[in-house]
Each structure stands twice: as structure tokens, then as C-alpha cells.
Amino acid sequence: ESAGVDAGFDQILFDGRASLSVTAFANRIDNLIAFDFATSRYFNVAKAKTSGIEVAADAEIWQDLLRLKAAYTYLDAKDRNTGLTLSRTPEHVARLSLAVTPTPRWSEWSGPTICSA
């Protein structure tokens, strides 16, 4: 059971060659089920809350060839009963990717057809 809210904005930059996104979020969770690796059992955290912010950027470095993407998330995830940080919830997460597309045909491929009617 949870209730949450998020708000953000996206901004297109440099005639569409780049974008910037910022999103803030908050959630209140009741009856959160977690897993304890030490005992190999599930348990009920009871009440938890998460909040944070995510910032993402996407830029075309070289038209139709090279694209750079980056994202950063700050997460505050707490047990509302104990005030302790929830297990396996990193406070900071960063991602960086570089996509190279030597030919436009590579980005057009949608994968194999499994079943066709």
C-alpha cells in the first residue's frame, strides 16, 4: 500500500540536440515486504518513506552517430518506525552511457519476430 507524488520538468536545449530533466518524488508505504539475505526470509517493514530527486541529461554529441546520456538520483529511504535507512537502497546512484550508431539502420532494428499472425 502506498501513496506518492512526483513533479518535474523537461527542457529541450540546442535546437533539440540536448535535453535536461529534473524530477522530485516522495512516497509513503505501509506493509512494505522486504527480504533478509542473512536469514533468507521475507519480512514486513511495516511503514517506510522514500523521497529524492533525479536529474538526467541527454545530448547528441555527433549527429546520428554519438549520443551521451547521464543521470543522477539522490534517494532518502527510511523505515518510518525506526528511522533507519532501508536495506539495499543506495543514497546516491549515477549512470552514464555513450551510444554509438555507425549506421542509422542499427537504430531501426526492432528485434526478431517471435510470432506472426
Residue with cell 537502497: 89
Check residue 65 and report its DSSP letter: T
Residue range 19-53, pLDDT digits in tens = 999 999 999 999 888 777 788 888 777 899 999 99
- pLDDT for res 117: 46
Using CA atoms, how far residue 85 sits from 3, 19, 36, 97, in Å, is 19, 33, 14, 29
Entry pTM:
0.74
- 39: which 3 cell numbers? 536469514
Work out the number of other CB atoms within 10 angstroms of the CB of residue 32: 19
